[in-house]
């Protein structure tokens, strides 16, 4: 299973470092969130805005 957040990040050609620079969320934390750690509410909002998706899409899991 892969997180939709990671799929969106890759689809947009962004690295975890790029996302860090856009959101202020450290790369190591982005990595943990992509691997299943629930983001804090402010992190969900920032990530959703940066990836242009809904906040619900940040925490869903997708089978591939």
| Strand segments (E) across 4-64 | none
d(CA 34, CA 39) in angstroms, rounded, equals 9
Q: How many CA atoms lie within 13 A of 43 on its CB side?
A: 18
Q: Is the pLDDT of residue 18 over 90?
A: yes
Summarize pLDDT for 22-55 with one digit per residue, the tens.
999 999 999 999 998 999 999 999 999 999 999 8
**pLDDT for res 3:** 85
* Mean pLDDT confidence for 53-62: 76
- Class of the 4-59 domain? mainly alpha
**pLDDT for res 61:** 54
Q: Is the pLDDT of residue 62 over 50?
A: no
pTM score above 0.75: yes
């Amino acid at each position: 299973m892969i997180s939709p957040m990671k799929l969106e990040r890759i689809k947009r050609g962004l690295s975890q470092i790029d996302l860090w620079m856009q959101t202020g969320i450290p790369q190591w934390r982005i990595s943990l969130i992509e691997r299943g750690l629930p983001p804090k509410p402010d992190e969900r909002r920032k990530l959703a805005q940066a990836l242009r998706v809904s906040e619900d899409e940040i925490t869903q899991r997708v089978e591939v």
